[in-house]
Chain A
Amino acid sequence: MGAAHSASEEVRELVGKTGFSSDQIEQLHRRFKQLSGDQPTIRKENFNNVPDLELNPIRSKIIRAFFDNRNLRKGSSGLADEINFEDFLTIMSYFRPIDTTMDEEQVQLCRKEKLRFLFHMYDSDSDGRITLEEYRNVVEELLSGNPHIEKESARSIADGAMMEAASVCVGQMEPDQVYEGITFDDFLKIWQGIDIETKMHVRFLNMETIALCH
């Protein structure tokens, strides 16, 4: 009884923290257990058991993002070895659809959070900049699904994108100015005018669909 009580307490706390409904949390908890094999935490290896992920060209980056301290709001750099359920929810909450009741400011904040997740995924060395190296890395992985595109093409695409980013963010540069990489502010600038609202949401979870996946 006491255990059940404390569990519901915990759930309520999580509802407050992450904004998920208690139903959703329950669903996610079930899934979490399934992934972790009834352990309290998930390690990276656990994600290898998800068969659908295998085809994803950037899966390593995505999984990495799950363990990124910055995304977990636990620090400014580094990777966590394992994440518990609360961390899992924290990550998932990045993908929560925008609430209709939110006001403009909250929507902006939400948007920023979502973009930050993406930014952290690119910025693998947590120095606050997406350098050319890092960008290339991502593009190469993105294109790795197509065996016919050589790495060089991927590189040149990344280079082109970087140039574009620089021209968007800095505009006319001074002769001795150096563009060192995309900062988060620049990143926001790139995304300006692009409707992210439709792009970074996952439908969380009706009971039935989850039940089907067991």
Chain B
Amino acid sequence: MLRAALPLFGLPLAGAAATEEPTQEPGSPDEPPAGLALFRWQWHEVEAPYLVALWILVASLAKIVFHLSRKVTSLVPESCLLILLGLVLGGIVLAVAKKAEYQLEPGTFFLFLLPPIVLDSGYFMPSRLFFDNLGAILTYAVVGTLWNAFTTGAALWGLQQAGLVAPRVQASLLDFLLFGSLISAVDPVAVLAVFEEVHVNDTLFIIVFGESLLNDAVTVVLYKVCNSFVEMGSANVQAADYLKGVASLFLVSLGGAAVGLVFAFLLALTTRFTKRVRIIEPLLVFLLAYAAYLTAEMASLSAILAVTMCGLGCKKYVEANISHKSRTAVKYTMKTLASCAETVIFMLLGISAVDSSKWAWDSGLVLGTLFFILFFRALGVVLQTWVLNQFRLVPLDKIDQVVMSYGGLRGAVAFALVILLDRTKVPAKDYFVATTIVVVFFTVIVQGLTIKPLVKWLKVKRSEHHKPTLNQELHEHTFDHILAAVEDVVGHHGYHYWRDRWEQFDKKYLSQLLMRRSAYRIRDQIWDVYYRLNIRDAISFVDQGGHILSSTGLTLPSMPSRNSVAETSVTNLLRESGSGACLDLQVIDTVRSGRDREDAVMHHLLCGGLYKPRRRYKASCSRHFISEDAQERQDKEIFQQNMKRRLESFKSTKHNICLNKSKPRPRKTSRKKDGLANTEATNGKPRDVGFQDTAAVILTVESESEEESDSSETEKEDDEGIIFVARATSEVLQEGKVSGSLEVCPSPRIIPPSPTCAEKELPWKSGQGDLAVYVSSETTKIVPVDMQAGWNQSISSLESLASPPCTQAPTLTCLPPCPLAAEEPQPPFDLPYDPRPSFAFPPSLAKAGRSRSESSADIPQQQELQPLMGHEDRTHLSPRAANSHWCIQFNKGGRL
């Protein structure tokens, strides 16, 4: 097939190539010197990238295979499996090619494989946790690494002096110190790979992981200093050089951090101006972070530190600036790259170990190193922790120390560094390589395998994976402020004081400078959590309830992108919705129009979920902009649809609460129970269907006991019902008045969704249709009755803020409790229809209903409302339902 197609496309190309071919590659074997080549095999031109792609593919496939069995991956860390796979592959390559190939090259490792992992860990580092424990992390990273390097080096030298290392290992004290410096550093890749699966508590994790990241500076400095000393020869080293070594420690670490911060600043600043070119936002993040890495590497500063600081520093501002989609893109790309790099590193480590030409074995050295590494690590941790615990508010206990000692994994950094050694200057290089390989394998495989059981056995405090809750966030903020205040009162400028200061500074200057204004405005942590929770709830709801959709092959609805519409409109929406008790509903897109209304009806007709694209599909052909295409719009609509469905289960879910502080209902009669029972009986379904449905059912089924049941309905709906207020126009009413018959009704909003068989049978089905209509109608407000108190409060602000009050006659489209109709003995139905603005606000009505039993102060207001319903009832319903409210009528209409 491909061959057949090739000539067509490849003709001009191949021809051009063929003419140039002889001059370029005269010795090309199976290529005719002239003439048209139909097919050419050009392996050498693509070899390098092809091999890279192949290796990554193999690694990814291996990952898939590993994860096929849950049991294996739960017991064995992935890094172990990858190393073992690397060993096997290396063996195969060795057997086939008779020489070791595809090894872990230090250049590749440092320039391409390491940066993504470090960037990922820096960018997604929990910064608060990191800075909370910065003291401990720095201690372990600097003091701990120095300690490990020197003690290990010196002890190995002692071992050699004692004659336990074979004399063929020619190494001086400096050589051993060099080796000690490269073998002592805890490796971020290995630590991350193992600890991510272990889930120890956050503090422990951040200490071990932060140490592994920050000790890079120390490792690099030590390695370079020792290496240059070794190259100079120990005799030529002078006192000034030692001083220089110490100075370079500061230079390398602080310089690296500074480079990182500068690039973080640049990155944040750049993303501030990408509003019109969203598409390059993720690219910028990667480019500048990589530039930071390369710059630091170029200046021989600590590149790992640079990228870590860059990621850590820029995240807050970048996340605020870039669009939601870019954020997702950044996240996934980063994770993908890091995971790729990690996989390849471990696999290549395995492959590299096979090459026996590179290493030479000495049991004394290997065993000695293993022992000293473990021993001095443990000793160092204990000593440092003892010192740290004098200062820490929350001391690290013994179990933590054990895990910390045992979690000191060595990895690819050590291996790459040892490969970089110069054999002519360090005669014992081969032995060091072998030892390093053994150490790395031992720590990754043995310790990696055993750390999980160890953690379990020691009952280390695990991290609890609870979802972030709004309460928690609020309380934590309060705590922060309290602590800062107490420090102020006590007059002790401690950590909280400085954090508070920094936050003030950040808020005042940095954020203003680095954040887009629109982002800065709504930027607040609490707000962020709130927003995220809303989205999460909505998504999870769609996930659960959206199975109907998935059957039609539609993807998960995209979240409303925060950047364009939502950024401004979320606040607007909030303002509009007053108390905004509708926790999750605010994610509904705000664009509402008549067309949307039609759409909603359509949706129902199409059995909710079956989507019929009725807008012309606009092909997106720009490479620079992602236009909001039909798919997205479609998603949004489906999202809306799902939200509507969600409303129905509103009561049965967690919103089943009443937040107002009203007294317990006085009237909990057995009648209510009856009403309930009836409802359930007729519905054949628990009463967590929409309130409308229940109301409707009750009305139809037991017209006799209507009043009672209705009143009971009133009461419970008072508690947890939902009010839908559509304040579009008075259309509904007027149409209802004029036509009196639903079939001739001109507006699609009024047309009841054509009742299916199921709808006739199942009342709540029709409720759904009605819901669909109301929710998407113009300036809809969806407020659970639970929040009446909130409504009542913010009612005044609403009246001034929300939609034009008087020009369009506001309408109560759907009114669940209708307490008045039920409880009022003689509702004055014959008052004329009066579209006064106050009708628009259901809370007043709802409140009226609620407080009826307590006081009758609201009666005038209720009476204002009566005409509405009375009128509706008269036009549409049989007299039997005269004292019902007119949301019922819609149900009935649906069931005609």
| Residues of A that sit less than 8 Å from B by CB | 28, 31, 34-35, 47, 50, 52-53, 55-59, 62-63, 65-66, 92, 95, 97-98, 100, 118, 121, 131-133, 138-139, 142-143, 145-146, 148-150, 152-153, 155-157, 159-168, 170, 172-173, 175-181, 190-191, 193-195, 197-205, 209-210, 212-214
Contacts and interface: CB of A to CB of B under 8 A. Distances in A.
6 contacts: A50-B488, A55-B504, A149-B527, A150-B575, A170-B657, A203-B494
A138 B474 CA distance: 9
A10 to B, nearest CB: 20
Contacts, number: 240
Contacts of A190: 469, 471-472, 475
A95 to B, nearest CB: 5
B583 A163 contact: yes
Contacts of B30: none
Contact of A152 (B470, B524, B797): B797
How many chain B residues sit at the interface, stated as a range, is 35 or more
A114 to B, nearest CB: 9
A202 B496 CA distance: 8
A197 B482 CA distance: 15
Contact of B657 (A65, A166, A205, A213): A166
B420 to A, nearest CB: 41
B687 to A, nearest CB: 7
A120 to B, nearest CB: 12
Contact of B574 (A59, A150, A214): A150
Given A173-B720, A199-B479, A159 B579 contact: yes
A47 B716 contact: no
Contact of A162 (B393, B484, B522, B659): B659
Contacts of B507: 145-146
Contacts of A98: 394
B497 interface: yes
A196 to B, nearest CB: 8
A172 B676 CA distance: 18
A177 B659 contact: no
Given A31-B490, A159-B790, A142 B659 contact: no
A155 B794 contact: yes
Contacts of B534: 160
A156 B488 CA distance: 31
Between B203, B657, B664, the greatest number of chain A beta carbons within 10 A of the residue's beta carbon is seen for B657
Contacts of B494: 202-203, 209
A57 B481 contact: yes
Contacts of B474: 138-139, 142, 157, 161
B577 interface: yes
Contacts of A202: 483, 486-487, 490, 492, 494, 496
B580 A156 contact: yes
B485 interface: yes
Nearest to B521: A148
B481 A142 contact: yes
A193 B492 contact: no
Contact of B500 (A55, A133, A205): A55
Nearest to A214: B491
Contacts of B658: 177-179
B527 A53 contact: no
Between B478, B527, B577, B664, the greatest number of chain A beta carbons within 10 A of the residue's beta carbon is seen for B478
Nearest to B464: A193
Given A202-B483, A203-B495, A212-B493, A176 B583 contact: no
A202 B39 CA distance: 76
B492 A205 contact: yes
Given A131-B661, A132-B790, A178-B658, A164 B470 contact: yes
A123 to B, nearest CB: 13
Between B487, B659, B719, the greatest number of chain A beta carbons within 10 A of the residue's beta carbon is seen for B659
B575 A143 contact: no
B490 A159 contact: no
B717 to A, nearest CB: 9
Nearest to B717: A175
B481 A153 contact: no
Contact of A53 (B489, B533, B668, B715): B489
A178 B664 contact: yes
| 8 interchain residue pairs of minimum CB distance | A156-B580, A167-B654, A148-B521, A52-B488, A166-B657, A213-B491, A161-B470, A179-B657
A84 B762 CA distance: 70
A63 B482 CA distance: 10
Contacts of A47: 489
B571 interface: yes
B530 interface: yes
Nearest to A160: B583
B574 A201 contact: no
Contacts of B533: 160, 164
Nearest to B659: A132
B566 to A, nearest CB: 14
A164 B469 contact: yes
A92 to B, nearest CB: 7
B832 interface: no
Nearest to B484: A56
Given A139-B526, A152-B574, A175-B687, A62 B654 contact: no
A213 B652 CA distance: 57
Nearest to A97: B393
Nearest to A52: B488
A201 to B, nearest CB: 5
A14 to B, nearest CB: 16
Given A62-B486, A153-B575, 14 more contacts: A132-B660, A153-B574, A156-B530, A157-B470, A160-B533, A166-B659, A167-B657, A175-B687, A176-B665, A179-B659, A190-B472, A212-B493, A213-B491, A213-B492
Contacts of B660: 132, 178
B481 A152 contact: no
A148 B487 CA distance: 28
Interface string B492-530: 111111001000100100000000000011111011001
Contacts of B276: none
Interface in B163-203: 201-203
Interface in B715-758: 715-716, 719-720
A16 B488 CA distance: 25
B526 A35 contact: no
Nearest to B466: A193
A12 B787 CA distance: 53
A163 B203 contact: no
A50 B500 CA distance: 15
A150 B571 contact: yes
Interface string B522-556: 11101100100110000000000000000000000
B493 A213 contact: yes
Interface in B229-279: none
B581 interface: yes
Nearest to B790: A159
Nearest to A203: B494
Contacts of B651: 175
B629 interface: no
Contacts of A212: 493
A155 B491 CA distance: 34
A7 B481 CA distance: 34
A57 B660 CA distance: 27
Contacts of B786: 163
B578 interface: yes
Contacts of A157: 470, 474, 526-527, 530
A159 B527 contact: no
Contact of A178 (B489, B522, B655, B719): B719
Contacts of B485: 53, 56, 58-59, 62-63
A9 to B, nearest CB: 24
A12 to B, nearest CB: 22
Contacts of A194: 466, 472
A35 B490 CA distance: 9
Given A55-B500, A142-B526, A166-B657, A201 B393 contact: yes
B789 interface: yes
A160 B490 contact: no
